[in-house]
Amino acid sequence: MKLAVIGTGYVGLVTGTCFAETGNQVTCVDIDERKVEKLNNRIIPIYEPGIDILFNRNVDEGRLRFTTNLADGIKDAEVIFLALPTPPGEDGSADLKYILKVADDLGPLLENYVVVVDKSTVPVGTAERVREHISRNTDREFDVVSNPEFLREGAAVDDFMKPDRVVIGTRSERAKAIMNKLYAPLVRQGNPVIFMDERSAEMTKYAANAFLATKITFMNEIANLCELVGANVDDIRRGIGTDSRIGKRFLFAGIGYGGSCFPKDVQALAKTAKDFQYDFKVLKSVMAVNNYQKTKMIPLIKEHFGGDLRGKCFAVWGLAFKPYTDDIREAPALENIRILLEEGAKVTVYDPEAMDNVRNIFGNSIHYAHTQYAALDDADALLIMTEWPLFRTPDFDKMNLLLKNKLIFDGRNVYELDQMRETGYTYYSVGRET
Ligand code: UGA
């Protein structure tokens, strides 16, 4: 099939590349000329394991191309994906200006029947608004479908190519048939394509992210309580996760969820509830707990150092909001670094991928180490903010020579308590005894 993908952000680029990999002819359109030029020179603007191989193969074989020209990009396309940003507005609701502008521009360019697909996470009712905006400028036939994306950063290619399920919101039989054909190669192992109406598909995406954020937050509160009653949250996780009704995944306690999706989507769903005069109490608590959780290590750090962090040096391992990404949006590390600096401490950071992004925020106010060990040199303590595998089995002998104190504040529970006792570290983690 011939496809167009409007917007070459995270979702757009993965969607375009993966659909090219299943044999479609894909043109990606973006208004950012520099980005398109880079993509045409094979510079991929995101860090995502495995995407480079697919990207290069499909560009080589002529199935994937990039343009800034919307008319050229959508020419003869049977399906047009909208993968545009929906940043949070001041009141927390998703701002649709980019999507509706493209919808306005598409109308006059339509020739044959086309399926326009909302791939971005958009509030309930957006498909209808997109339909209305396109119709303002055309009398050609088209359908608007909601097809939310559930991929995770760091596992995006795998999630896209082997989805647990595909959700398609449309009542048009013609659009259903086209979407079914498009996704057939990705759901061959029996995972379902679930059809529903547009509003339900839009709501499904928010419900999925809000549920996962709630699941994590629930475990974070259990962890906080474990600390008080003297229980171990790792054991609780194993104890409840084996119940198939609960499931093993997304039960890891820590310093809160971050990223570009959970915080934004929980906020947007709470705003939708408010707009409909519904008091969504669970979501409000999720947001409040996550805010608390992000910096819950700070009081422990302060207490350990007698309330005064002036002149103290902290090594921070991990800056990205989670491993396998360079994305630092809403990353707990940032807020912690900010507070440490405000308290007069010095900070040296290391992350395998996110250093450049953090440099753009903190500039010269912190130090940047070339290796995880270099960050420890003369530090009073180590703080772990992201659970990169690299940090799981470090050379403790080497660490002992560099750190001033055998002291770790671990926001992601990367070490076993026994292991820490053996190495003689004072070890603070989340939901476990010190
Ligand atoms: C999330 C969803 O998992 C995807 O299904 C969805 O498509 C995506 O948002 C989106 O809406 O675009 P992502 O933000 O890439 O994906 O990352 P996750 O792997 O879900 O992690 C989110 C945050 O939760 C991270 O900060 C992570 O550290 C935290 N987390 C995750 C925990 O604290 N505990 C866990 O057990 C799992």
Ligand 1 center–CA 142 separation, angstroms: 34
Residues 6+ apart with CB under 8 A from 93: 123, 268, 271, 272, 275
Ligand 1 center–CA 1 separation, angstroms: 31
2, HSE (Cβ side, Cα atoms, 13 Å): 10
Percent of the chain with pLDDT over 90: 95
Ligand 1 nearest atom to the CA of residue 151, by list position: 7
Residue among 14, 51, 152, 386 to mutate when testing ligand 1 (max atoms within 8 A of CB): 152
Ligand 1 nearest atom to the CA of residue 205, by list position: 11
Ligand 1 center–CA 93 separation, angstroms: 20
CA angle 61, 65, 68 (to 5 degrees): 170
pLDDT tens sequence across 367-400? 999 999 999 999 999 999 999 999 999 999 999 9
In angstroms, the CA 187 to CA 153 distance is: 20
Which residues are designated catalytic? 261
Ligand 1 nearest atom to the CA of residue 321, by list position: 26
On whether the CB atoms of residues 102 and 84 are closer than 8 A, the answer is yes
Report the nearest-CA residue for atom 28 of ligand 1. Answer: 322
State the pLDDT at residue 434: 77
For the CA atoms of the chain, what is the radius of gyration?
24
Report the nearest-CA residue for atom 22 of ligand 1. Answer: 257
User: Residue 73 — very low, low, confident or very high, per pLDDT cuts 50/70/90?
Assistant: very high
- Asked if residue 190 has pLDDT above 90, the reply is no
pLDDT tens sequence across 297-339? 999 999 999 999 999 999 999 999 999 999 999 999 999 999 9
- Asked if residue 55 has pLDDT above 80, the reply is yes
State the pLDDT at residue 91: 84
Ligand 1 center–CA 176 separation, angstroms: 29
| Helix/strand/coil for 51 | helix
The whole-number average pLDDT for the span 77-101 is 91
Give the architecture (CATH level 2) of 206-293. Answer: Orthogonal Bundle (1.10)
Q: 2-195 and 206-293: same fold?
A: no
Report the nearest-CA residue for atom 31 of ligand 1. Answer: 250
- Asked if residue 188 has pLDDT above 90, the reply is no
CATH class of 295-428: alpha beta
pLDDT tens sequence across 21-47? 999 999 999 999 999 999 999 999 998
CATH code of 2-195, in short, is: 3.40.50.720
The whole-number average pLDDT for the span 351-361 is 97
Ligand 1 center–CA 257 separation, angstroms: 7
User: Residue 189 — very low, low, confident or very high, per pLDDT cuts 50/70/90?
Assistant: confident
Ligand 1 center–CA 262 separation, angstroms: 7
* Token output for 55: 């990207």
User: Residue 90 — very low, low, confident or very high, per pLDDT cuts 50/70/90?
Assistant: confident
Provide residues with CB under 6 Å of ligand 1: 121, 149-153, 209, 212, 216, 250-252, 254, 257-259, 261-262, 321-322
pLDDT tens sequence across 113-158? 999 999 999 999 999 999 999 999 999 999 999 999 999 999 999 9
State the pLDDT at residue 27: 98
| Residue ranges per structural domain of the chain | 2-195, 206-293, 295-428
Which runs of E-coded beta strand occur in 24-172? 25-29, 64-67, 79-82, 114-118, 142-146, 166-169
In angstroms, the CA 384 to CA 419 distance is: 16
Ligand 1 nearest atom to the CA of residue 325, by list position: 15
pTM above 0.90, yes or no: yes
State the pLDDT at residue 242: 97
State the pLDDT at residue 283: 98
CA angle 263, 266, 271 (to 5 degrees): 120
In angstroms, the CA 327 to CA 329 distance is: 6
Mean pLDDT over the full length of the chain = 96
Report the nearest-CA residue for atom 2 of ligand 1. Answer: 152
